[in-house]
Amino acid sequence: MAQQNLALVTGANGHLGNNLVRLLIEKGIPVRASVRNSNNKAPFAGLNCEIIEADITDKSSLIKAFQDIETVYAVGAAFKLWAKNPKKEIYDVNLEGTKNTIEAAAATGVKRIVYVSSVAALNYTTLPTKEAYGYNPDRRDMYYNSKNDGEKLAFEWAKKHQIELVAVLPAAMIGAEAFAPLNVSYQVINLILQKQIPVETNITLNWVDVKDVAEGCYLAATKGNDGERYILANEKCTSIKETTKIAQELFPELNIKLPLVVPRPLLFAIAGLMELGSKITGKAPLLSTKDVAMFSGLQQDFDISKARIELGFNPKSPTQAVKEAMQYLRENAERLQ
């Protein structure tokens, strides 16, 4: 007999997905965890949940995974800002994954989808930005494009198939349970602790605790209004320099230096050299020229009153989130190498 209120989380071994699985279990909700490869069992050690293999680019695998499911948390996506072929490896994967998820939900009678979008899908021309300002007009990055176009597609297809869909837009998620490899945001914190951010990029991030985002996803499932989008972030962003200062205060014994301020042309030159190295190694550069052009000086400040009022979303402060993330990384350094 099918369990009532059965929830499914795609990308359940990822940072947000895994912390969301843990939260739902704590709340007594039966969970089916969907992963691309079930051989990686470490994220599910000691967790009372069903694990199923499915891939967002394979609709038939999703149809199998979605049987008897009431709520789908669509977390799984290609989350990277660099790839050898960004259109194919990031954009196409995320758009196809979105379409497949909604079609599989329609085929199996899923009632509600919480679609995990991103603050990348917000319009930053007026700050603090809010959901009502629409989508990001900056089309220079394939990950950003995939999040903007993917969210629009999600609403369009959900309406077509008469499925309730609520979108959540998280900022830079850090903290709590994590498994190697670290996600892009958490890795920035790690690089600061490893003293691997030598120059000031003037890039800011809006830090938010992943557990608060997981709670926001659950609140969106239970209280969110169909067809609405909710920012899951903090009001103010934090620069890499300010984040480094937190590390200095927390761990004086590490002797972490503040990043060196360099002229913008030199920053572009450094990023260009790193990109050249990436073409040889196939690994993402620490900094790309696109990162400098798009994010240097960009303030990621948000009006989160809609999520606060309609969902009851109440995140811990960015400083607290950063401190806890740094402590976790220090305590689990060996395991996360």
The residues pairing with 169 across neighbouring beta strands, listed in sequence order, are: 231
Mean pLDDT (the chain, rounded): 95
Number of domains into which the chain is organized: 1
Cα separation, 140 vs 313, in Å, equals 31
Residue 257 backbone phi and psi in degrees, to 5: -95, 150
* DSSP code for 332: T
Give the model's pLDDT for residue 41.
87
Return the closest-CA partner of residue 326 out of 172, 208, 205, 176: 176
pLDDT at 211: 98
Tokens, residue 118: 């991103």
> DSSP for 90-143?
IIIHHHHHHHHHHHHHHHHT--EEEEE--GGGS--SSSSB-GGG-S----S-HH
User: What does the pLDDT look like over 51-89, one tens digit per residue?
Assistant: 999 999 999 999 999 999 999 999 999 998 888 899 999
First to last CA, the chain: 43
The better pLDDT of the pair 334, 324 is held by 324
Residue 58 lies in a domain: yes
- Residue 248's φ and ψ, nearest 5 degrees, are -60, -45
Spatial CA neighbour of 304 closest among 221, 205, 216: 216
Give the pLDDT score at 5: 85
Q: Does the residue 30 lie in any domain?
A: yes
Q: Name the burial class of residue 137, with classes exposed (0-12), middle (13-18) and buried (19+) by CB atoms within 10 angstroms of its CB.
A: exposed
Instruction: For residues 270 and 119, give the distance between their C-alpha atoms in angstroms, rounded to a whole number.
Output: 27
CA angle 217, 206, 198 (to 5 degrees): 135
Q: What is the mean pLDDT of residues 146-160?
A: 98
More confident residue, 198 or 272: 272
Number of H helices, E strands in the chain: 12, 13
The 10s digit of each residue's pLDDT in 171-228 is 999 999 999 889 889 999 999 999 999 899 999 999 999 999 999 999 999 999 999 9
Tokens 């995140």 correspond to 315
Cut 0.75: pTM above it: yes
Q: What is the CATH number of the domain that holds 168?
A: 3.40.50.720
The answer to whether position 96 is within a domain reads yes
Residues near 162 by Cβ (< 8 Å), separated by ≥ 6? Answer: 106
Q: How confident is the model at residue 337 (pLDDT cuts 50, 70, 90)?
A: confident
Q: Is 155 helix (H, G, I), strand (E, B) or coil?
A: helix
The verdict on residue 229 lying in a domain is yes
Which pLDDT value is given to residue 336?
A: 86
Q: What is the pLDDT of residues 97-141, one digit of tens each?
A: 999 999 999 999 999 999 999 999 999 999 999 999 999 999 999
Structure tokens at 299: 């303030």
Full residue range of the structural domain in which residue 95 is found: 7-179+207-234+300-316
pLDDT of 2 > 70? The answer is: no
Residue 114 lies in a domain: yes
What are residue 231's DSSP bridge partners? Answer: 169
pLDDT at 81: 85
pLDDT tens for each residue of 133-143? 999 999 999 99
Provide the pLDDT confidence category of residue 3 given band limits of 50, 70 and 90: low
Mean pLDDT computed over 23-32: 97
DSSP secondary structure letters along 279-329 = HHH-SPPSS-HHHHHHHBT----B--HHHHHHH---PPPHHHHHHHHHHHH
* 36 within a domain of the structure (yes/no): yes
Tokens of 149: 């176009």
pLDDT of residue 1: 36
The residue to which tokens 């003293």 are assigned: 195
* Dist. CA 241–CA 253, nearest whole Å: 18
Q: What is the pLDDT of residue 334?
A: 87
Across 307-324, average pLDDT: 98
β 204-205/238-239 pair status: antiparallel
In a domain, 107, yes or no: yes
Rounded to the nearest angstrom, the gap between the alpha carbon of residue 201 and the centroid of all alpha carbons in its chain is: 22
Q: Is residue 289 part of a domain?
A: no
For a pLDDT cut of 90, what percent of the chain falls above it? 91
The DSSP symbol for 203 reads: B
pLDDT of residue 198: 86
